[in-house]
Chains A and B, each alone.
Chain A
């Protein structure tokens, strides 16, 4: 890998998608989850991907997160052509540039919050003491500085999602990819989480890409991309009543 985003300024393109297709084989049948998707996301943007269930939003997230590669088309993240990278390079890219937040939190059970949050740093080769310090800092940032040694089963849903957000930001990534992050939370807690994302976007300049079903969350983004049947049907500012 040779390119780097260190020099990227706000407003410069971070992710460039061009004619992306993603096809799956289900038995003999071909499922076309994405059918020619093209758009660009710039550094520091706050974007929501919306659309009905089964429209290809999660598939999109996995592609953007370099966990998957397109069947066809080009995806460049921070200057890297993702489909040309090896498994190890992809892992390093995810570790360095991307933080994930999932609907189901996906914390590692029976493991303390601080160890959960420190996990990405381990794969970044950060030493143990430093890891704990930075994990504690990230937990502090999401308002859970007092819950370092709790295991996930002793936390509420909102707290768990905050731990997951701390894990996502602990490496200070360029990009937060969130797949329905408030889907398992009630609306009040969901609104808090939405607020937290906005703060992070504002304070850290982290690029926010959020898949959501929640109209109030989508409304607060500066840009909405709507997928239907694997195609982009709308790309622009949020529209009331959508």
Chain B
């Protein structure tokens, strides 16, 4: 076997330009596989990180019944809104939750000394900061007594601070939020963007103050979390029962767990990666056809050589292996080169353009190289068989 591989290399060396051209198709194919799958995989890892970054074992309760998990639009209208009493019931009765925060979401302008910024205003409870992994940098977050007394205080995200205050210290200052005046009691820590959303461009106020400000008595959603990963299913069950009991057994709300979200996005990105892989495979198939064609030409051109080899003692299977291995060596070499190029590009992107989500996982490398090997075998079989089946005399008489 070693002999055959060696002579395959010698044959390639004897015709370098042709070998290079033959390889090109596979190089491009494997390069495409590495890059496209790298993009798909990068997207998966990015979404995973983003969703995991939201918090741990999170659950979001939204009003209305959704038939499917994940992102379907609400089926039917919102029957019963979520209210603060739901929060109190959960706080009293649930035992598997780590914290519960109501949330009222609204948009509005925030103004300070003639500077204005349109932003998102979130009415929340004290638990929000922990649940969503968004700590305060200076001052304090929304506190229980703020919520109880419907106090007009606010905690500002980094972007707001930068835009409105510049170098001034915002703590203790008063800003206008929509039509209300709010005292700044805290500043959030710097956070990145999540799924394209700037987490620094937010203003937090007590949920009660938000209800006053937006003149509404229902919640946009409830955010909570299971105590541990193991408790998550039971916790969801518990929440469901407590809320349903308050609605005469009707489930007019939907619980979305972080896990559901991960699964949904996971399925989505897996589908995308597969699709990209399928597209890339086409170029690999084209590369394989290229190899087969050139191998067929090569068999024809080397007919005399095949005759001579048979004359000096080569068996049919010697000839078969010779051409098969030549094809495999060409293809694998092309695969290795394509993989090397793809990996370099991915690593360069990671290094010089870290915001582009690409990844290079070992399985891509294995798939890319493995498929080039398989392509080599598949495209070598027909030419190799043709070479092996040549009649030695015909081969020697061939002009």
Contacts and interface: CB of A to CB of B under 8 A. Distances in A.
Interface of A: 58, 62, 65, 67-68, 87-88, 91-92, 94-96, 100, 102, 104, 106, 108-111, 115, 119-120, 122-124, 167, 171
Contact of B310 (A67, A102, A111): A67
A96 B10 CA distance: 25
B345 interface: no
A230 to B, nearest CB: 16
B315 A88 contact: yes
A87 B14 contact: no
B237 interface: no
A108 B308 contact: yes
A67 B396 contact: yes
A154 B130 CA distance: 82
B305 A95 contact: no
B309 A110 contact: no
A106 B316 contact: no
Nearest to A104: B304
Given A68-B392, A68-B393, A94-B313, 18 more contacts: A58-B397, A62-B396, A65-B311, A67-B392, A67-B393, A91-B313, A91-B315, A91-B318, A95-B313, A100-B311, A102-B396, A108-B308, A109-B14, A110-B14, A115-B10, A122-B7, A123-B314, A124-B313
Nearest to B311: A100
30 contacts: A62-B393, A62-B396, A67-B310, A67-B311, A68-B393, A87-B315, A88-B315, A88-B316, A88-B317, A91-B313, A91-B314, A91-B315, A91-B318, A92-B313, A94-B311, A94-B313, A95-B313, A100-B312, A106-B307, A106-B396, A109-B14, A109-B305, A110-B15, A111-B14, A115-B10, A119-B309, A119-B312, A120-B312, A167-B312, A171-B313
Which of B14, B313, B397 has its CB near the most chain A CB atoms (within 10 A)? Answer: B313
Interface residues of B, number: 23
Contacts, number: 65
B230 interface: no
Contacts of A108: 305, 308
Nearest to B305: A108
Contacts of B311: 65, 67, 94, 100
Given A67-B392, A124-B313, A106 B14 contact: no
B351 to A, nearest CB: 42
Contacts of A68: 392-393
A191 B312 CA distance: 26
Contacts of B145: none
Contact of B312 (A95, A104, A110): A95
Contacts of A88: 315-317
Interface in B1-47: 3, 7, 10, 14-15
